[in-house]
Amino acid sequence: KLREPVINLDINRHMLNAGKVLEEKGKITPGNKASQGSFHQIPYKDASFDLVNLGLALHMSKTKLRHKGKEIRERESTLREINRVLRPGGYAIITLPCSQNKKKAVISKQNFSNFYKGLEQLGFEVLPFAGFYNGPKDSKFKVYLAGLRKTSEPTEEPLDEELLGWKMD
């Protein structure tokens, strides 16, 4: 929809290659850049972007994990990195998969209050259109979508784990 080249970041090189194939077939705008890397260690300078789209990936992160003897708050680190690479007033779009079966939902309305408090502490304003969206009538596609605007730098204090935890965790 942007009709401009974008930078794609994915830890999975196969997904990056799939994007190159789509570009070669003329299905997407040419000139995109593919970078392999992690979303909790984004390999770009501070204030590099006006828009970050984290599509159907944040749910794969953990609120807390141990790696090489160190505790990592992966989900929090990811959101801090998004704030870091956004220019002041920049936007982020986060989508999480949902199921028509409420028992398998990733995030529920009961999680919104804590999640939005966590996002606020990380320097984001949640935009009014955040919520659940369905695909076409004949599909089972459903997502939770949050539009965010960077309003400040994040708090330096680690967040309470409850703020970024969801039903699935």
pLDDT for 66-122, tens place per residue? 878 888 888 999 999 999 999 999 999 999 888 656 555 688 888 899 999 999 999
Q: Whole-model pTM?
A: 0.88
**Residues above pLDDT 70, as percent of the chain:** 93
The sign of the torsion formed by the CA atoms of 127, 125, 146, 90 equals positive
DSSP letter, residue 122: T
At 78 the pLDDT is 93
At 102 the pLDDT is 57
In whole angstroms, what is the distance from residue 93 CA to residue 147 CA?
A: 5
In whole angstroms, what is the distance from residue 20 CA to residue 27 CA?
A: 10
> What kind and span of H or E run contains 20?
helix 13-24
Strand, coil or helix: 74? helix
Under a CB-based contact definition with an 8 Å cutoff, are residues 47 and 87 in contact?
yes
